[in-house]
Every structure is written in structure tokens, then in C-alpha cells.
Amino acid sequence: MADKRILTCALTGSVTPPTKHPGLPITPREIADSGIDAAKAGAAVVHIHVRDPDTGAPSMAPELYKEVVDRIRESGVDVVINLTCGHGARFNPSPPDANTAEGTPAMKTPEVRMQHVRENKPEICTLDYGSMNFGDFVIINTPEHLRVMAEVARDCGAKPELEVFDTGHLRLAKKMVADGVIDESPLYQLCLGIPWGIEQTPESMMFMRDRLPDGAHWASFGIGAGEFPMLAQSLLYGGHVRVGLEDNLYLEKGVPAPSNAALVEKGVGIMRSLDKEPATAAEARELLGLKQAA
């Protein structure tokens, strides 16, 4: 029997400006179509952020999430929906009063951050398990906010994907699994190479993997030029994988990726070269014990 691994495609993210890549999906139709094409290319899961259709800036608008999710579900393509819950945590202190944020939305409550999960009932939603310097700004995720968000995810039947960017995040997530805040057989995403989290190296991935709790499912990814080397490394270490324009804009050095589907196709090729087979959406649900949305 083939060694099945789950490939997630992260479609657009919230950091890359549209000026950096003309093919970055921005509108709900573009994001949905990109997700559908990625699924046809071999992605079992699509990880979704939304953008302001006019400016390309990151957005939390529930109606944009609903349009993307409805378009994907109505397409007839079977793919697992994974919604980000990382929005509403960004803080960029502005002088002279460091209690105010410059050029970023105000911090949002857990209920506001989870509104789109309540409305769309995805099978997976991501929880960023910790606070950190994230490039030039800060993301703030307090333990209490994460507890509330985990409770909302459970109420909605969504499996939290615990995104950990450094070792302290992993410790906090493990504590919440041990305390029952997160259900057994948790799903971890080891996020490597993001400034200023843990480096994207084989040693970092192994270090994080070896500290996961028993019975955990896990995936890992790298960014930029590290996307495909870290994909191969995760496969060799026993994990699932992720690609997508959120993490990397190039198919190879100097060659912009024409689409998310092209990144998925390259990822699938690497998987098969290592005798791994991309899981279907149905197989991913079985592997992770997901509750399929009605």
C-alpha cells in the first residue's frame, strides 16, 4: 500500500503584497478558483486567508470567507477546508504612545477572530500557538485567547491545526493538549524560516518533531527557497507537507510560479520521487479524524 501523505496548499496568506506577484489570488473568486485548481493538482487541503478585493490588503471580513468557502464547496471538487484564525493578532506599536498600533487594525477578541469559523464550519482551522516578532510587526496570542479559540473550534467541529513557529510555542501547545484544551491526536504545523521564528533547517525540524506529544499528527513547511527542500525533509522525517503562494512565489530559482496548482504539481512530483503518494481529501479526513462539514 502506498505511503499516503497530506499535501496542503496555502493559497494567498496575508503578508505578500500583490505587487510582488501578478498571479497572487486576491478576490474571493480568484482565491476559490486557485483552491479548486490546487485540489485538482493533488492538494487534499486548502488553507485560506482572504484579502480586500480592491486593495489586496489582508481582511477579516466574514462575507469574503463565506464567498470563498461557498464557491469551493459548490464547485463539486472534494477538498478539506482549512481557515486561518491568525488575523486580529497583529500589532505594530506607533510612537510616541506604544499602546497604539500604526497602520494595523486593532487587536480583536477571540470571538471576533473566530466568527468566520462559526459561520462556515471548516474541517480545520489554524491557531497560532504563541506570540512572536513576525517580520517587522508582532503577533500576540495570549494563552487565554487561545483557550477560548480552541473551545470555539471544538463547538464548530473544526480540528485546530496548531501552528508553532518556535520551541516555546510547542511547549504551550503541548500543555494545552495535556490539559484537555486541545483534543487527543492533535495536529501540528511546524512553521520554519519565518522571521523571527526557528530556522528552516533539517536540525530544526527534527528538534521540533522529537518534542511532539505521543499520537500527534504533524506537517512542516519552509518558505521562499526553502519550500521544496523542507517539503522533502518533512516527508523523510515522517510528516505531512505544505506548499503555496503564501509561503513561496517561485517554482524554481528565477522562475515565478504561475499558480498555486503549479506549486502543488511540483510538490506531488517530489512526493512520488520519494515513494510517497498524496492523500485524497477523503483519505486526509480518515487520517486526521476530521468531521466533514454538512
Provide the 3-class DSSP secondary structure of residue 71.
helix
Query: By the 8 A CB rule, do 140 and 91 touch?
Result: yes
For the chain, the helix, strand and coil percentages under 3-state DSSP, each to the nearest 5: 35, 20, 40
Domain boundaries, the chain: 3-288
Average pLDDT, the chain: 94
**Cis before 218? omega within 30:** no
Give tens-digit pLDDT for 189-222: 999 999 999 999 999 999 999 999 999 999 999 9
Asked if the model's pLDDT at residue 68 lies above 90, the reply is yes
Packing angle, helices 28-41 and 260-273, rounded to 10 = 20
Provide the 3-class DSSP secondary structure of residue 196.
coil
Grid coordinates 492523500 are at which residue?
279
Written as nine digits, the cell of 133 is: 516578532
Alpha-carbon Rg for the chain, nearest whole angstrom, is 18
Percent of the chain at pLDDT > 70 equals 94
Helices (H), the chain: 28-41, 62-74, 110-113, 115-120, 143-156, 167-178, 202-209, 227-237, 260-273, 281-288
Query: By the 8 A CB rule, do 288 and 281 touch?
Result: no
Query: By the 8 A CB rule, do 31 and 68 touch?
Result: yes
| Four-way CATH pick for 3-288: 3.40.720.10, 3.40.50.1820, 3.20.20.70, 2.40.70.10 | 3.20.20.70
Packing angle, helices 227-237 and 260-273, rounded to 10 = 40
Give tens-digit pLDDT for 257-280: 999 999 999 999 999 999 999 999
pTM of the model: 0.94
Query: By the 8 A CB rule, do 215 and 174 touch?
Result: no
